[in-house]
Amino acid sequence: MRRLRRFVPPQHGAWAMLLLPYLAGVLTAGFRWPDIPLLLAWLSGYLLSYYASQALKTRRPGRFKSQMMWYGLSTALFAAPVILARPRVLLYAPIFAALLAVNACHAARRQERALVNDLVSVVESCLMVFVTATIAGVAPSETVLPFTATLLYFTGTVFYVKTMIRERGSILYYRTSIAYHVAAVVVALLLSRLLAALFAVLAIRAFVLPRRRLTPKQVGLLEIAACLFLGAAVLQ
């Protein structure tokens, strides 16, 4: 178990942010067989980026050599059939490279929890909606709704979670979170009434819950429920 924990990062909230945009994209654009190796490459690539960031942060790359080697190899193996089947996905490579460079800079400065870095990670995850559309041969414009919905949600989660944990008690973050969620309701209303209703509930959550003392586990469980409702709303 100790050896296994060396290869599994303690970032439980990241899995929802990895899976929801992927699933929203696949279920909206339609499933194609390259979506399977794409998912494996996506998850393996996240694990590779996590341990690469740890290597930059600690200045001890040798400590994470095994993780980077295995996840680097698996990412390449899983990505190969996707690229061979749908070479157009390489058009996204420069965008992801630029965003990952921002992550790397923050890791090197030991600022992984910086607001900008969190928001960049959200964009990276939500772009997977467009990648799945490209694999399905669907124009990215046809998946604007799931992309916008997931981007709105996870961006709001960044602000909300900070008011619950790392920035608890910060008036600036609290007001920013509320203002963002109110704006998100307006944008969601342009997409669908169901999404607007969901984001209205999320806005109430952002207003009420920071005044209560919830544990990180409780915060996480509530976000899992919100992700499930968001996924259902996107597919309506």
- The domain total for the chain is 2
Q: Which domain holds residue 151?
A: 139-236
Domain identity same for 157 and 100: no
Predicted confidence at residue 91, as pLDDT, reads: 95
Domain identity same for 75 and 11: yes
**Helix 128-136 vs helix 115-126: crossing angle, to nearest 10:** 10
Predicted confidence at residue 69, as pLDDT, reads: 93
Domain identity same for 52 and 156: no
Q: Among 107, 138, 169, give the residue marking a domain's end.
A: 138
Predicted confidence at residue 211, as pLDDT, reads: 86
Q: Among 138, 156, 175, give the residue marking a domain's end.
A: 138
Q: Among 138, 168, 187, give the residue marking a domain's end.
A: 138
Predicted confidence at residue 130, as pLDDT, reads: 97
Can you tell me the distance from the alpha carbon of 93 to that of 75, in angstroms, rounded to the nearest whole number?
Answer: 14
Predicted confidence at residue 1, as pLDDT, reads: 56
Predicted confidence at residue 224, as pLDDT, reads: 85
Domain identity same for 88 and 59: yes
Predicted confidence at residue 85, as pLDDT, reads: 96
The stretches in the chain having pLDDT less than 70 are 1-6, 10-12
Predicted confidence at residue 150, as pLDDT, reads: 95
Q: Which residues contact 195 (CB under 8 A, 6 or more apart)?
A: 149, 188, 189, 233, 234
Predicted confidence at residue 2, as pLDDT, reads: 62
